[in-house]
Amino acid sequence: MLASHILAGTPKDSDEYRVILLGDSSTWGFYLENTDTLSTLLNQAGLHTRDWRQARFYNLGYPTISLTKDLLLLDRALAYQPDLIIWLVTLEAFPYEKQTFTPLVQHNP
């Protein structure tokens, strides 16, 4: 899944402050157009750091609720040298029975 993400084909520029967004369907943008997702809106805001590195936001949200799923994605995302991780999570993601419910976790033990 990550091999087809923009992160896989985008080397990190020296002036980039790379931010990874993790979470469930609300982060992913379920029922939203791509132009209305959190990552797109943050990228359009033109945010930068104090040392003028451009903040670039990458959406790794996935439309199921599971902390295990998020950790699986986070583990792989670290290879893309993020400067910041924003993990949008709720208590609904904590129950044990939700951890292996998603096929993403089931097929990546």
The pLDDT of residue 95 is above 80:
no
Closest residue by Cα to residue 81 from 14, 28, 23 = 14
A 10 A CB-CB count for 17 gives 19
The pLDDT of residue 78 is above 70:
yes
Tokens of 105: 């976790």
Q: What is the pLDDT, as a whole number, of residue 24?
A: 85
Tokens of 61: 């949200």
Q: What is the pLDDT, as a whole number, of residue 16?
A: 97
Q: What is the pLDDT, as a whole number, of residue 49?
A: 97
Return the SS3 of 70.
helix
Return the SS3 of 89.
coil
